[in-house]
Amino acid sequence: AQKITQTQPGMFVQEKEAVTLDCTYDTSDPSYGLFWYKQPSSGEMIFLIYQGSYDQQNATEGRYSLNFQKARKSANLVISASQLGDSAMYFCAMREGHRAGGGADGLTFGKGTHLIIQP
């Protein structure tokens, strides 16, 4: 089963509009973190925002906010006032916290959403 599901392979949005990118996740671990990364056409991975499973409030970072609905296991990224430079691939990712003895778990990524902002 997919641990991270992004159901929108591609989206077209008008400049200045808000956009919501969907992400649902699957874990039985009570402790986990959810991340969104942006990958422009140049290829690098840029961290955008983080939400922890125990966080009471939705995360916000500038124009990015996360609509975290724990019961539904969803962590949708909201970009307000979209700009042409927001055109990129967007990946939702999760890190689970079951590792009690230290060390580091890798991130599990979704397949991504290709967002295109139109002028």
Partner 1 sequence: EPEVTQTPSHQVTQMGQEVILRCVPISNHLYFYWYRQILGQKVEFLVSFYNNEISEKSEIFDDQFSVERPDGSNFTLKIRSTKLEDSAMYFCASSQAGTVKTEAFFGQGTRLTVV
Structure tokens at 1: 């089963």
Q: What are the residues facing 13 on neighbouring strands?
A: 117
Q: Could you say whether residue 105 binds partner 1 (CB under 8 A)?
A: yes
* Binding-residue pattern over the window 49 to 68 for partner 1, x denoting contact by CB under 8 A: -x-xx---------------
Structure tokens at 15: 């400049």
| 98/31 Cα distance (integer angstroms) | 7
What is the distance of C-alpha 58 from the center of its chain?
13
Structure tokens at 118: 């139109």
Pick between residue 52 and residue 74 the one whose CB is nearest to partner 1: 52
Which of 96, 113, 115, 117 touches partner 1 (CB under 8 A)? 96
Q: Could you say whether residue 47 binds partner 1 (CB under 8 A)?
A: yes
Pick between residue 43 and residue 119 the one whose CB is nearest to partner 1: 43
| 75/41 Cα distance (integer angstroms) | 24
Binding residues (CB under 8 A) for partner 1: these are 31-33, 35, 37, 42-47, 50, 52-53, 91, 93, 95-97, 99, 102-112
